[in-house]
Structure 1
Amino acid sequence: MPNIIVLSPEPGTFTIDRARFEEAVVQRFGQQTKIISESADDQSSIDVTARVSRPGEPWFQIFHFGTGDAISTDGTNEQAVEVMLWVRSLLPDEHDGPVWAIDEAYTGHVELIPGMTPDDVRSGWLDHDEHPPE
């Protein structure tokens, strides 16, 4: 899996503000998480990066978009799935719109549903060549 972005395909239905992100990422990933504020002069839409370093695995990053409408990660497949499920857990079960995890090239996605397991995420992945989104 390449870099993954979690968002809603329905604009305005996915929002996690910066303060909530910063609190929740440290709570979930622990003291191995370093919060890095991005420069206001930066051309990136990312306002904060959480760098997670855990023993026995490669470090990875989780990025919060300044608009609050997306979170992404650059981790391994296992780390990406963990981040997807964590992000979905931050939203109410009865969320206003669908929550998707997509790859950065938009070649595939999975709809994230409360209570999913990592196996559900893997088996639910839809390749856009075979199943174009509506």
Structure 2
Amino acid sequence: MPNMIILSPEEDGFDLSKERFEEAVVTGFGPQVTSLVQRADGDSSVDVAARIDRPGEPAFQIFHFRTRDGISTDGTAEQAIEVMLWAPSALPEGPGRRIWAVDEAYNGHVELTPDMSVDDIKSGWVDHAEDPPG
């Protein structure tokens, strides 16, 4: 499950400014955010990366897309789920807003909602080989 991308299946369904991302990641992960690295290279799809460091586990990053239409993470499966649980709180509230977490090969997705649990994420996973998105 690592290398998850969080986006919307709907056009304009995910709009997260770089400034709001930076604020939300610091609020959500606190002192575990050891760096916010700006990417000046206009050729990169990422404009800022937040590095999360914790004792006893591998560091991971959360990446903000320059186009404001998604974020991704490179953590372990447990860290990816933690980012999925956090992601809805980073976005502004909006009626009908749908947010998905997909693996980088787009083999499946889970719809993310506020107040989800780890079990909700695991049980909500939709395998695209069995149930392709319409």
Q: Same fold (TM over 0.5)?
A: yes
Give the alignment of 1:1-134 within 5 angstroms: 1-33=1-33, 34-41=35-42, 43-92=43-92, 94-134=94-134
For residues 69-117 of structure 1, the C-alpha deviation after alignment (integer angstroms, 9 at most, x for no partner) is 1010001111101101111122355543311000000001001122210
Indicate conservation of the 8 Å contact 1:93/1:114, yes or no: no
**Structure 1: stretches of 5+ with no match in the other structure:** none
Separation of aligned partners in 2, 1:23 and 1:91: 11
Separation of aligned partners in 1, 2:114 and 2:52: 24
For residues 34-64 of structure 1, the C-alpha deviation after alignment (integer angstroms, 9 at most, x for no partner) is 10001234x2210000011011111000000
- Shift of the 95–85 alpha-carbon distance from structure 1 to 2, 3 Å rule, reads farther
**Structure 2: stretches of 5+ with no match in the other structure:** none
Separation of aligned partners in 1, 2:125 and 2:105: 14
TM-score (ref. length: structure 1): 0.92
Kindly state the Cα deviation for residue 8 of structure 1 after the two structures are TM-superposed.
0.3
Indicate conservation of the 8 Å contact 1:52/1:61, yes or no: yes
Cα RMSD between the aligned structures? 1.4
Identical residues among aligned pairs (%): 59
Q: Which runs of 4+ in 1 moved over 2 A?
A: 90-97
